[in-house]
A and B are shown apart, each in its own frame.
Chain A
């Protein structure tokens, strides 16, 4: 297989290509919108013989994840993809797979978890998995989806890490958007990603092992959980190593974070995933209006890049966190993670405000991005910083809501 330059691919197709060039052995599948295209493509390739792997469609995500993790435990390189309800349905097996130290890769195509049921994006699904022991990489572009899948296998399979990895993309905004993608050949990828032969795998272990027996006492439970935590922390260090090697091979360099126009920035917008592209675009206009704004994108959510975030925001006066997610009763989910990284740093930004927006695929307008930065500027000038998230809802959103309720024969009472 030759490398291909600039193929126009959807995020989903790119994810399937990621699994293909990583020479994945096993694909466990279960359909869910907006992910299904990934497993459909893989199924076609396996059936036609273009891809050498075993493809099994399970009867639920709960079983799908158990099966994928078990195949990884057996010693195969395993892949799966899901979204939203599927991730929630599989939830207890997230812990089982990380506890087995089975370094499979799962793509999550982010979508809100019902009720109310939606097909559109809300990153609360993937963030709900933050405490499960999975490494999390979040992609802004289709190219990042491909590159992060390759990096994910190398990272997870590293003996110092041995943890599964979620690669996240936003439903619709990335899953169904075509972008030019450079796909390396399998030979090129194999230079970076050696075959998976885990010393603890059922097929490879030197003796008969008991995998994950029940633990009764606290000291041994604590030992295994602490060990997992230390391995997850180690993953950042390993990521630097392998990302450098990846960059030297493929010409694209990644870090746990990405700084965009941050060098002279007074203000920063912290963002993740596909909406970061919208915010990057807005930053140019904001600069024309006189706001010296930059963007801090977080690529790696677990382990959380505390030092990198603190370093990137050194000298920045005020920060707006854009949270495309909501923890009802608390606010955005990135916000407290960011505050943890900043609290102990002397040169931390004076103001950090939280904004929740884009939920359910709601448009993020230039006006809203401008509003976030203006609120930060005002707080810097006037004080009075609130720990509560500002919920972005435009006049246009209000008009649409009133119109919907009119169709239903009701008068909208607004937020109460």
Chain B
């Protein structure tokens, strides 16, 4: 039975202070806040350069648990060192205060998860490190001005993939980090969205039972980079789920199960039209082929899901 069934079940505990210096409407703050409500105060928070780094600028910190800042590619390696260091203090030196039993969570953007930090993350998963790795995926290098990353979806405008001279914007496909992680056979992997808060909370709660890497990727709406209204964050995230562009799922030891299966998909353009980064698909002329390409990819994904999971 799920622990969190409605918003009334959201814990009152707050480990992220209000009024941080993040952009209004930033998805990463909503995710961090709710993640820590479930993981609790006994958590060490490892962060790297990226949007969320703005939450903790000397002499202020918005995070009320121990916060360690690592270089861009080293989030998972630092988690390894902290976890191992605390473990050996316990085992060898007999230190047994509550701190040595803290959980370690690495909280990074898509640049650090998909690109520059991929090697260290893959290795930490391979070593079966007992940690949480949570990617707030805003689908570009948001903190540096929204440049293309390995997580940028097809046709997105970024500051290094401008739709100029007939270009479609980003010509590459988004990396499937869920499947890449799944190939590592991690105990628990999940996708989450700020629009489905109880789904998110239940997944963090469920992950607690597993020893080893617990991996999350969250669609993180970026109002400034995406060109969207800040009050629309949750609505856009919901459209991403309902159009099928951001499937909500989990994998336990590699077994995939979707936690939300839309019976009918809303057309992708309902989602695309909410954001200026896709505006060139509709103005000045409608790029029918490209919209169709995105729609077809989503449909072929869900066709497989409907066939396998609904028939069970």
One of B56, B60, B80, B127 near A70 (C-beta < 8 A)? B80
Q: How far is the CB of A42 from chain B (nearest CB, A)?
A: 14
Assuming A70-B77, A214-B56, is B88 touching A26 (CB within 8 A)?
yes
Is A371 positioned at the interface, with any CB of B under 8 Å from its CB?
no
B58 touches A59 (CB 8 A): no
What is the interface size of chain B, counting residues whose CB is below 8 A from a CB of the partner? 48
Are A203 and B74 neighbours in the complex by a CB distance under 8 Å? Answer: no
- Binding-face segment, A50-58, A113-121, A136-144, A265-273: A50-58
Q: Could you say which of A61-69, A239-247, A379-387, A396-404 contacts chain B?
A: A61-69
List residues of chain A with CB within 8 A of the CB of B93.
Answer: 25, 195
Asked if B85 and A213 make an inter-chain contact with CB atoms under 8 angstroms apart, the answer reads no
**232-276 of chain A: CB within 8 A of chain B:** none
A interface: dominant SS: mixed
A243 CB to closest chain B CB (Å) equals 27
Q: Contact at A210–B82, with CB atoms within 8 Å?
A: no
Partner of A213, one of B56, B79, B119, B122: B56
Option from B65, B71, B89 in Cβ contact (under 8 Å) with A74: B89
Contact B85 A214 (CB under 8 A): no
| Residues of B199-250 contacting chain A, CB below 8 A | none
Shortest distance between the CB of B3 and any CB in chain A (Å): 26
- Among residues of A, the one whose C-beta sits closest to the C-beta of B129 is A56
Q: Which of chain A's residues has its CB closest to B78's CB?
A: A70
Residue among B56, B76, B82, B102 having the largest count of chain A Cβ atoms under 10 Å: B82
Residue of B nearest to A216 (CB): B57
> Nearest chain B CB to A153's CB is how many angstroms away?
15
CB <8 Å contact, B88 and A53: yes
Give residues of chain B (56-78) contacting chain A, Cβ–Cβ below 8 Å.
56-61, 63-71, 73-74, 76-78
- Pick from A53, A60, A93, A215: contact of B57, CB under 8 Å: A215
With contacts defined as CB atoms under 8 Å apart, how many contacts are there between chain A and chain B in the complex?
158
Q: Hey, which chain B residues are within 8 Å of A52, CB to CB? A: 92
Bound Cα distance from A215 to B63, whole angstroms = 16
B84 x A67 contact (CB < 8 A)? yes
Q: Once the chains bind, are B99 and A54 in contact (CB under 8 Å)?
A: no
A361 to B181, CA, bound (A): 44
A294 to B66, CA, bound (A): 54
> Is the Cβ of A25 less than 8 Å from the Cβ of B58?
no
Tell me, yes or no, whether B44 is within 8 Å of chain A by CB. yes
Q: Does B23 contact A (CB under 8 A)?
A: no
Q: Which of B67, B89, B97 contacts A211 (CB 8 A)?
A: B67
Task: Using CB atoms, name the residue of chain B closest to A99.
Answer: B69
Cβ of B87 to closest chain A Cβ, rounded Å:
7
Residue on B nearest A207 in the bound complex, by CB = B66
Interface centre among B49, B78, B81 (most CB of A within 10 A): B81
**A341 → chain B, closest Cβ, in Å?**
33
Given A54-B84, A56-B127, A213-B61, residue A203 in contact with residue B67 (CB < 8 A)? no
Indicate if B53 sits at the interface (CB-CB under 8 A): yes
Which residue of chain A is the closest to B61 with respect to CB atoms?
A210
Interchain nearest-CB distance for A308 vs B (Å): 35
Asked if B100 is an interface residue, CB under 8 A from chain A, the answer is yes
B66 nearest in chain A by CB position: A208
Asked if residues A66 and B77 are in contact (CB atoms below 8 Å), the reply is: yes
Q: Which residues of the partner chain B approach A73 to less than 8 Å between Cβ atoms? A: 68, 81-82, 85
Q: Which of B65, B79, B87, B93 is the most central at the interface, judged by chain A CB atoms within 10 Å of its CB? A: B93
Return the contact of B85 from the options A66, A76, A210 (Cβ within 8 A): A76
Query: Is the CB of B180 closer than 8 A to any CB of chain A?
Result: no
Contacts of B95 in A (CB 8 A): 75, 203
Residues of A within 8 A of B68 (CB): 70, 73, 202, 211-212
A67:B80 contact, CB within 8 angstroms: yes
Which parts of A176-233 form the interface with B (CB within 8 Å)? 195, 202-205, 208-216, 220
Chain A interface: which size bin?
35 or more
Q: Are A74 and B57 touching (Cβ within 8 A)? A: no
B86 interface residue per 8 A CB criterion:
yes
Cβ A210 vs Cβ B56 within 8 A: yes
Nearest-CB residue, chain B, relative to A223: B58
Query: B89 contacts A214, CB within 8 Å?
Result: no
Q: How far is the CB of B282 from chain A (nearest CB, A)?
A: 38
Q: A195-B93, A209-B66 known; A214 and B78 CB under 8 Å?
A: no
Most chain B CB inside 10 Å of its own CB: which residue of A212, A213, A220: A213
- Which of chain A's residues 266-313 have a Cβ closer than 8 Å to chain B? none
Q: Are B100 and A203 in contact (CB under 8 A)?
A: yes
Tell me, yes or no, whether B120 is within 8 Å of chain A by CB. Answer: yes
B132 to chain A, nearest CB (A): 16
Q: Which listed residue (B66, B77, B81, B92) contacts A210, Cβ 8 A? A: B66
Give the chain A neighbours of B80 by CB distance below 8 A. Answer: 56, 58, 63, 67, 70
Q: How far apart sit A62 and B58, CA to CA, in the bound complex (Å)?
A: 26
Minimum CB–CB distance from A209 to chain B (whole Å) comes to 6
Q: Do A202 and B99 touch (CB < 8 A)?
A: yes
B123 at the interface (CB under 8 A from A): yes
Q: Is the CB of B88 within 8 A of A220?
A: no
Known A67-B80, A70-B78, A202-B66; judge A26-B85 contact (CB<8 A).
yes
Contacts of B97 in A (CB 8 A): 203
A72 on interface, CB distance cutoff 8 Å: yes
Alpha-carbon gap, A185 to B24, bound state (A): 60
Q: How far is the CA of A59 from the CA of B74 in the complex (A)?
A: 11
Q: Which residue of A lies closest to B70 (CB)?
A: A66
Residues of A within 8 A of B (CB): 25-26, 28, 52-54, 56, 58-60, 62-64, 66-76, 78, 92-93, 96, 195, 202-205, 208-216, 220
Q: Can you show 21 pairs from A to B with CB atoms below 8 A apart?
A: A25-B88, A59-B123, A60-B123, A62-B77, A69-B78, A70-B81, A74-B82, A96-B70, A202-B44, A202-B85, A202-B86, A202-B99, A203-B89, A204-B99, A208-B64, A209-B67, A211-B69, A214-B49, A214-B53, A214-B57, A215-B58
Leading 4 A-B pairs by shortest Cβ distance: A70-B81, A74-B85, A71-B85, A63-B77
Known: A53-B88, A68-B81, A96-B74. 7 other contacts (CB 8 A): A25-B85, A26-B88, A59-B120, A66-B120, A70-B78, A71-B84, A208-B66
